[in-house]
Amino acid sequence: MTTIVIVSHSEAIATGTKSLLNQMAQGVDVIAVGGNQGEIGTSFDEVSEVINQLEEDALCFFDIGSSEMNLDMAIEMYSGQQRVEKVTAPIVEGSFVASVALSTGKSFDEAIEAVYEAYAR
């Protein structure tokens, strides 16, 4: 299956989104990366570690500023075997649409397309 990665400046947003997705789209693995040492922000090292430890393909969602920058750098530097894609959409709504699509048997590409249909690029 495909993993959903949530990268947010806020630990509460990341973990809250993960909780929502786990309740609404059971069976989809969700990884939350939020905050930086208990504060608002993101850590390239944490984002990179998550990306480098993926055991499945991943759709990655982000909120603002450095979360996108750190995610871009982590994906750029990733040399593993999994397919890892950044998806530009509202972090909660986009990841929700993707996780529901995946939980109903849609493929990686179909999940991305569902997000982009819901939230025109």
Give the C-alpha separation, 11 to 39, whole Å. Answer: 8
* CA neighbor of 88 nearest in space, from 101, 97, 79, 80: 97
Quick one: pLDDT at residue 121?
A: 58
Determine how many CB atoms are found less than 10 A away from the CB of residue 120.
Answer: 6
Quick one: pLDDT at residue 25?
A: 93
**84, containing H or E segment:** strand 84-86
Quick one: pLDDT at residue 83?
A: 97
Quick one: pLDDT at residue 110?
A: 97
Q: How would you write the pLDDT of the chain (121 residues) with one tens digit per residue? A: 899 999 999 999 999 999 999 999 989 999 999 998 889 999 999 999 999 999 999 999 999 989 999 999 999 999 999 999 999 999 999 999 999 999 999 999 999 999 999 986 5
Which of 5, 7, 8, 9 is catalytic? The answer is 9
Query: Active-site residue 96, yes or no?
Result: no
Quick one: pLDDT at residue 9?
A: 96
Quick one: pLDDT at residue 57?
A: 97
Backbone phi and psi for residue 110, each to the nearest 5 degrees, phi listed first: -65, -35
Give the C-alpha separation, 96 to 76, whole Å. Answer: 25
> Which domain range does residue 22 map to?
3-119
pTM summary value? 0.94
The domain that contains 94 carries what CATH number? 3.40.50.510
How many independent structural domains does the chain possess?
1
User: Cβ neighbours of residue 1 under 8 Å, at least 6 residues apart?
Assistant: 27, 28, 29, 56, 102
